[in-house]
Every structure is written in C-alpha cells, then in structure tokens.
Structure 1
C-alpha cells in the first residue's frame, strides 16, 4: 500500500502530522478503502447505519439521495425505488 503514488501520500501525511510512518500508512489505507466504496456498497452501509438510528425508510431514502452527489464517486441520480432495490434486491 505504500508504493507509488501512495508512498508519497504516506510520507506527506507522516511529515505533516508527526505520525510514525506505519501509522500514517494505516491511516491512508483506511481512507482509501473508505473512498473506494461503490454506490451500491455505500447505499447498503448507510441504510444499515440509519436504520440503527431508528429512522424511517422514507427519511433514509431522502438522506441517502442527498448524500450521493457529495461522495467521491460519480453517482447517477437514483430514485427511492432504485435505492430500495439496491438494499433489498
């Protein structure tokens, strides 16, 4: 995970934060994994998280639909029905 170009990023994080290189490498790996989610993975994860907070599905679909355009991936505009199909099949 520390080979180019991530090696440069690990060095930058270590230098700018004072973190040891192994800790900076774990941090970079965690962030990259978080940002590497597909639309489907993100929708499923957020749905579970919001359900645990006892939100209704109507509220959950609205929140997820609002969050998608702010994510790193280029997500199409999804209807509530499409969001439900990702979660429930």
Structure 2
C-alpha cells in the first residue's frame, strides 16, 4: 500500500465515524463532511503549504456538492 492509499483509508474511516447519526432521545442529528488531504513531502514540504493545498482539495469536493473526500491533485490548483 502506498501513502495515498493509506491516507484514503484513513479519510474513509474518519468520514464513516464523523457522519454516524447522533441521537439525543428522539432527536437525531446527521452530519455531512467534506475532507481534503495532502501528502508530505509529495505535495509540499511545510505545514502552511500542506494545509493550503488540502484546503483546495476540500473546496474541490464542496464544489461538487460536498459530503465526500479528495486527495490533492495538481490539477486542483487555480
């Protein structure tokens, strides 16, 4: 398994955990989540840039309707 596959497995698991319905009595709350990820050092070599491009990946998902995840790809750079 390479780094990107490891990250995708982690992001899928996070999404499953964070989108489970939450109940308080009869009241139920369902969440959606949009996640973006970037890889060190493949995508950037400092935390500021890693967060910036992970943000680009997240907004890529949001523009497609949200409730998903994306690993950063250079084509996402405006």
What is the TM-score when the length of structure 2 is the normalising length? 0.29
Higher relative contact order (CA 8 A, sep 6+): 2
Which structure dedicates a bigger proportion of its chain to strand?
Answer: 2
The structure with the largest alpha-carbon Rg is: 1
Which structure dedicates a bigger proportion of its chain to helix?
Answer: 1
What is the TM-score when the length of structure 1 is the normalising length? 0.26
